[in-house]
Chain A
Amino acid sequence: MTSRIFKHTFKQGIQGIMRNRTMSLASIGSVASVLVILGLVLMVILNVNAISMSTKETFDEIFVYLDDHISNQRIRQIGEEISSIEGTLAVVYQSKEYALNQMKEEWGEDGRLLEGLVNNPLPNTYVVQLVDVSYASRVISLIEQKDGIEEVKYYKDIVERLIATADFIQYFGMVVILILLLVSIFIIQNTIKITVASRKIEIELMQYIGASNGFVRGPFIFEGIVLGLLGSLLAIVIVLNGYDYLVSFTNEKMFAMLSFYLIPAQNIAFDFLIIFMTIGVGIGILGSIVSLKKFLNV
């Protein structure tokens, strides 16, 4: 009995798709385009997130640049003094030589440019990590009072602005995604409605004969699932290929300029596949149920 219902559902569902080929293609296309846009929004959100995290790590520290002329003893002393200030978590010394090497490494091939320097222009530095951002202004003012300090740098504004921007982009992205989902449910609903309408006599007859509700609805819900699934697969092919191209282009040409990496496509491919297929199938089922509700009232 169960296998027969399954066979019936499968056969009728495929038949419904093939008989209304134009509308089926239209709904696959619209699910795909909705998901492509949704994919783009998701990509932006994910990358903004990743960039803001890595930037936050880089900027959430106080850089204490030391005067070039002070003695090593004074340098050690300053280090101890900073460590004893309330609110500091860790104090790490970076010599000017270390800083230059670090820079060469980060610049990669372009690092050779730095080899022409006669004097190392970078200062000796203490990198101070805070227990909490709230200590920042007091710690900074205490450090600034000390002798032998050239400059204290802290990018609090940048960090805060970055977090705010990332939050906004995420919030805005979620709203866009929600609207897109509603649009695609509406589109699938209309496709199924046309299929249902074109088989109105058959459906009415099924109900008069006494076919169970599942028997009547099954094929249409199956049809919705197939359309949603095909749309989501099409979308994933477009999004991942497009994104992969963008990533290889950006990471090759833009890294030196922007100093960040986009998340590689293969890292998110599987997650996207799952997300897209779930949403695609969800849209399909919801669309079928909504359109069936309007039609099946016998």
Chain B
Amino acid sequence: MFEFSNVTKVYKNKFTAVNDISFKIEKGSFSFIVGKSGAGKTTLIKLLIKEVDPTEGKIIFNNQDITKLSHRQIPLHRRKVGVIFQDFRLLDKKTVYENIAFAMEMVGHTPKNIRREVPTVLSMVGLSDKANNFPNELAGGEQQRIAIARAVVNKPDLIIADEPTGNLDPETSYEIMKIFSEINRRGTTVLMVTHDRAIVDTMKKRVIELKNGRIIRDTEEGDYYHDL
């Protein structure tokens, strides 16, 4: 799927956010990235969607070095990656339906396609009956579902979720995780940045732990804390 080779990112203020990182994510896998604030998790996401470029190293995504993409190719790369932000980033003047349709319009889907796909993803995240509500009429967990639906509707190869359960109670978090498992089961690679210990420990998936910009642990079927 993608591979980081000796990637280092030093920001203009001389802060080294990511320091000589190498790892590989297989197609169709489900992985957690854990670590304290400032460990380099957000930079990792930014590197993957080419919002920032590494100072050193290569990032191969689907056999293509994305550090070498031209300005014009960036949008095409981003269509292969669905990002779910911690703060959802929903458009509050658009309905649930319109928020998801918006993502399809932006990449040039036909109205016919949009009318077919939006109800499908809405039913997958369990929001069929809320299609005409506005985001701020809904609870946090439901808003998170909209964000997920919007990220998957364009059928990306990779889904990146940044703290998807950060603001949710355990029960809602569990429901959200079921949706991610379903997305992953259908073949989409999932990369989740999280602080949620309970979730990491229940899921028993690969865990990559970052500290001060370096990978200090990478275990299959790991736990949130150091595996013994």
Q: Which chain A residues have a beta carbon within 8 Å of chain B's beta carbons?
A: 1, 4-5, 8, 201-202, 204-213, 215, 298
CA distance A209 to B154 in the complex (A): 9
Min C-beta distance of B178 to chain A, whole Å: 25
CA distance A209 to B79 in the complex (A): 6
| Chain B 43-82 interface mask (CB, 8 Å, partner A; 1/0) | 0000001010000000000000000000110011111100
B107 is an interface residue with CB less than 8 A from chain A: yes
- Whether the Cβ atoms of B71 and A208 lie closer than 8 Å is no
Interface residues of A, dominant DSSP: helix
- Whether the Cβ atoms of A210 and B83 lie closer than 8 Å is no
Contacts of A210 in B (CB 8 A): 75-80, 106-107, 154
Min C-beta distance of B70 to chain A, whole Å: 11
Contacts of B89 in A (CB 8 A): 201, 204-205
- Whether the Cβ atoms of A213 and B51 lie closer than 8 Å is no
CA distance A259 to B197 in the complex (A): 94
Do A201 and B91 contact each other (CB < 8 Å), given the known contacts A210-B78, A210-B107, A213-B72?
A: yes
CA distance A63 to B193 in the complex (A): 96
- Whether the Cβ atoms of B91 and A1 lie closer than 8 Å is no
Contacts of B75 in A (CB 8 A): 207, 210-213
Contacts of B102 in A (CB 8 A): 205
- Interface residues in B29-53 by Cβ distance below 8 A to A read 49, 51
B183 is an interface residue with CB less than 8 A from chain A: no
Min C-beta distance of B81 to chain A, whole Å: 8
Min C-beta distance of A25 to chain B, whole Å: 22
Instruction: Please name 27 pairs of A and B residues whose Cβ atoms are closer than 8 Å in the assembled complex, sorted by A.
Output: A1-B108, A4-B110, A8-B105, A201-B91, A202-B91, A204-B89, A205-B89, A207-B75, A207-B78, A208-B49, A209-B78, A209-B79, A209-B103, A209-B106, A209-B107, A209-B154, A210-B75, A210-B76, A210-B79, A210-B154, A211-B75, A212-B72, A212-B75, A213-B72, A215-B106, A215-B108, A298-B51
Contacts of A209 in B (CB 8 A): 78-79, 103, 106-107, 154
Count residues of chain B with CB under 8 A from any CB of chain A.
21
Q: Which of A205, A210, A298 has the most CB of B within 10 A?
A: A210
Beyond A210-B78, A210-B107, A212-B75, 14 additional contacts (C-beta under 8 Å) are A5-B108, A206-B106, A208-B49, A208-B83, A209-B79, A209-B106, A210-B75, A210-B76, A210-B80, A211-B106, A211-B107, A212-B72, A213-B71, A213-B75
Min C-beta distance of B92 to chain A, whole Å: 9
In the complex formed, the residue of A with least CB distance to B81 is A210
Across the A-B interface, give the 6 residue pairs with the lowest CB-CB distance, nearest first: A210-B78, A210-B79, A211-B106, A210-B75, A212-B75, A209-B106
Contacts of B77 in A (CB 8 A): 210
CA distance A204 to B49 in the complex (A): 13
Contacts of A201 in B (CB 8 A): 89, 91
Contacts of A215 in B (CB 8 A): 106, 108
Min C-beta distance of A18 to chain B, whole Å: 13
- Whether the Cβ atoms of B78 and A208 lie closer than 8 Å is yes
Min C-beta distance of A219 to chain B, whole Å: 12
CA distance A58 to B52 in the complex (A): 71
CA distance A215 to B72 in the complex (A): 12
| Chain B 72-116 interface mask (CB, 8 Å, partner A; 1/0) | 100111111001000001010000000000110111101000000
- Whether the Cβ atoms of A205 and B91 lie closer than 8 Å is yes
Min C-beta distance of A191 to chain B, whole Å: 21
- Interface residues in B107-134 by Cβ distance below 8 A to A read 107-108, 110
Contacts of A207 in B (CB 8 A): 75, 78
Contacts of B71 in A (CB 8 A): 213
Contacts of A211 in B (CB 8 A): 75, 106-107
CA distance A147 to B108 in the complex (A): 92
Min C-beta distance of B193 to chain A, whole Å: 15
Contacts of B76 in A (CB 8 A): 210
Contacts of A4 in B (CB 8 A): 108, 110
CA distance A211 to B108 in the complex (A): 8
Min C-beta distance of A210 to chain B, whole Å: 4
Contacts of B72 in A (CB 8 A): 212-213
Contacts of B106 in A (CB 8 A): 206, 209-211, 215
